[in-house]
Structure 1
Amino acid sequence: MRIGVILPSVEVQRRDGIDLATAARHAEDAGLDGVWHGDHLAVGTPTVDCMVALTVAATATRSIGIGASVFVPAIRPLVWAAKQVASLQLVSGGRLRLGIGSGGGRAQWAAAGVPFGERGHRTETALRLLPRLIAGDPVTLPDGTDVRLAPGADVPPLWIGNASAAAIDRAARLGDGWFPSLITPAAVGAGRSRLPASATVTIGALAALGDAPGTPSRAELASGIAAAYRHTAHDADQLPITGGTDEAAARVAEYAAHGATHLVAGLSGPDWRAQVDLLAEVRRRCDDVIAVGG
């Protein structure tokens, strides 16, 4: 099981006295598999542009994976989106993993000047054309314009975000994997059964590890998830990854048993670096739990 971490928000960076470059290096030194950043144009909390944040992380590290969780190409001109992705893939030395979604609230789409109702069609078009644009192949756009980007880059794996039926269908048809967030292990298994055997399944999760003062409890995290994402109380209680490293490793192993191969954790705790260290220990112990379980 490969485990990565969402880079700290602007608020957490200020709280903990850490910048993105230092955070990315800390995650790499701790032994995690990837550092990730979301793609938000208009949200209620301050956020750095996804591609800028990941470029900082890429240039500050040597080998750790660099991931978008998730990139929303449909709010951008398609060729510009492809240029951003190809450039980041080149800068990172081929370490990019590209989660792709069509989400975000209506405010984000309005701010981008893109009709909310076009998100599905624009995302489908992006998934069809991005691989060839990123690779530097000649492409004819839907309006008839011929374009070829240079330099081309290796096409990163495209992991389709969201747990909806439409997203699973897109992952099966147009992606290399599926990337749902805040989803129960049983729902992971149900979605996995609809994907090709070769597909990667990556889970976005919320974690608060250990028992340091100020660490949110499982109940507190579950309550927040239920309120923000309209999960039932029963489902929300299954979603947070909390407790000591053995308990958390067992929870991650449960996702692995239902077909997940990667997990990307957003951390909710009083000290981001300490949480990363605990998450890295969970990764090591998870391998043992999975091995014992067969």
Structure 2
Amino acid sequence: MTVEIGVILPTSTPDPAHPILGDVRESARFAEAAGLDSIWSTDHLVASAPMLDSTVVLAAAAAVTERITVGFNVMLLALRPVAWAAKQVSTLQYVSGNRLVLGIGTGNPAHGDIGWRAAGVSYADRGRRTDEALRVLPDLVTGKRTVLDDGVEVALAPAANMPPVVVAGNGRAALRRAARYGDGWASIGLPPEEIAESLAEIGRLAAELGRPALKATVVGPDVGTDPQQATARLAAYEAAGVERVILAPTGTDWRRDYEFAAKVRSAYN
């Protein structure tokens, strides 16, 4: 099997009326014991539903697991000073034993701009701030002296290994961002044929920059409700260039969702 199967930790939900706030430690241990490949935390300051802080969630999940990948789905770099974000990333790499995947995005418009205003940063300028952060983040995480966009020079210690960066988004700017800075690209729920089209465009842009083609992560794909049916869907995604799927919660019972994900992984393996 080459498509990894991940799940989202019970820290938030798209439905404000039914928040999914469960035991992070228990769910992380459960996912690892079930043989799943990765666990993910969403990220926002003020969202349309209750949401826990992603860095604390991933630290807690890393502390009670040994093997499973832990990841941001996705970190909003533009909400934070980039040096502080780099410190969080490098520390998570350290405490997890280099198991972090850094999903990066600019934020879902469905959440509005209140979180950005609360953080004192420009919502309209979040794309430029994300690009600038991605430009300097690898040097900051790996402990190199780095000049920030305001001219401040800084080196962070201790240094850590830079985790893989997966850039999310379907717009033209997001595809360019993935091609320039990403080790992978992520999208929500797109079917295999659209994934293939976007990866082809990212590959063209990456080639112009002298960078390699990317693989995709698909969040919340429609794989049906039967594990055997899901394997056919995963095969189509794999053929389109997908390396990982993150199955979305179907309700407040995260154990049921994780058990289904494990059955899908077993059937596809």
TM-score, length-scaled by structure 1: 0.81
How do residues 44-123 of structure 1 correspond to structure 2 at under 5 angstroms? 44-104=48-108, 105-123=112-130
Read off the aligned partner of 1:246 and give its amino acid letter.
Answer: Q
1:7 aligns with 2:15: no
Read off the aligned partner of 1:202 and give its amino acid letter.
Answer: T
1:278 to 260, 264, 268: 260
Q: What CA distance in whole angstroms lies between the structure 1 residues aligned with 2:48 and 2:200?
A: 36
Q: What CA distance in whole angstroms lies between the structure 1 residues aligned with 2:117 and 2:189?
A: 26
Aligned residue for 2:207? none
Moved more, 250-259 or 64-73: 250-259
Read off the aligned partner of 1:85 and give its amino acid letter.
Answer: V
Aligned residue for 1:29? 33
Tell me, yes or no, if the aligned pair for 2:29 and 2:64 is still in contact at 8 Å. yes
- Name the SS for the 1:159 alignment partner: strand
Aligned residue for 2:219? 204
Q: Sequence identity of aligned pairs in percent?
A: 41
Aligned residue for 1:268? 250
Tell me, yes or no, if the aligned pair for 1:159 and 1:200 is still in contact at 8 Å. no
Q: What CA distance in whole angstroms lies between the structure 2 residues aligned with 1:182 and 1:41?
A: 24
RMSD: 1.4
Aligned residue for 2:43? 39
- Name the SS for the 1:117 alignment partner: coil
2:187 to 167, 180, 188: 180
Tell me, yes or no, if the aligned pair for 1:36 and 1:69 is still in contact at 8 Å. yes
Q: What CA distance in whole angstroms lies between the structure 2 residues aligned with 1:147 and 1:86?
A: 15
Cα offset for 1:68?
0.2
Cα offset for 1:177?
0.9
Cα offset for 1:115?
1.1
Tell me, yes or no, if the aligned pair for 1:4 and 1:33 is still in contact at 8 Å. yes
Which structure features the higher share of helix residues?
1
Task: Assess, with a 3 A threshold, how the Cα gap between structure 1 residues 270 and 149 changes in structure 2: closer, same or farther.
Answer: closer
Q: What CA distance in whole angstroms lies between the structure 1 residues aligned with 2:36 and 2:267?
A: 13
Number of residue pairs matched? 250
TM-score, length-scaled by structure 2: 0.89
- Name the SS for the 1:86 alignment partner: helix
Q: What CA distance in whole angstroms lies between the structure 2 residues aligned with 1:163 and 1:89?
A: 28
Q: What CA distance in whole angstroms lies between the structure 1 residues aligned with 2:199 and 2:237?
A: 11
Read off the aligned partner of 2:39 and give its amino acid letter.
Answer: V
Aligned residue for 2:225? 243
Cα offset for 1:33?
0.4
Cα offset for 1:51?
0.3
Deviations 1:198-248 (A, max 9, x none): 42311111xxxxxxxxxxxxxxxxxxxxxxxxxxxxxxxxx5332211112
Aligned residue for 1:158? 165
Mark the runs of 5 or more structure 1 residues left unpaired by the alignment: 206-238, 288-294
Aligned residue for 1:217? none
Q: What CA distance in whole angstroms lies between the structure 2 residues aligned with 1:12 and 1:108?
A: 20
- Name the SS for the 1:116 alignment partner: coil
Q: What CA distance in whole angstroms lies between the structure 1 residues aligned with 2:249 and 2:106?
A: 23
Read off the aligned partner of 2:9 and give its amino acid letter.
Answer: L
Aligned residue for 1:232? none
Tell me, yes or no, if the aligned pair for 1:67 and 1:99 is still in contact at 8 Å. yes
Mark the runs of 5 or more structure 2 residues left unpaired by the alignment: 13-18, 204-211
Read off the aligned partner of 2:10 and give its amino acid letter.
Answer: P
Tell me, yes or no, if the aligned pair for 2:20 and 2:251 is still in contact at 8 Å. no
Q: What CA distance in whole angstroms lies between the structure 2 residues aligned with 1:172 and 1:257?
A: 20
Q: What CA distance in whole angstroms lies between the structure 2 residues aligned with 1:278 and 1:86?
A: 33
Q: What CA distance in whole angstroms lies between the structure 2 residues aligned with 1:31 and 1:117?
A: 41
- Name the SS for the 1:129 alignment partner: helix
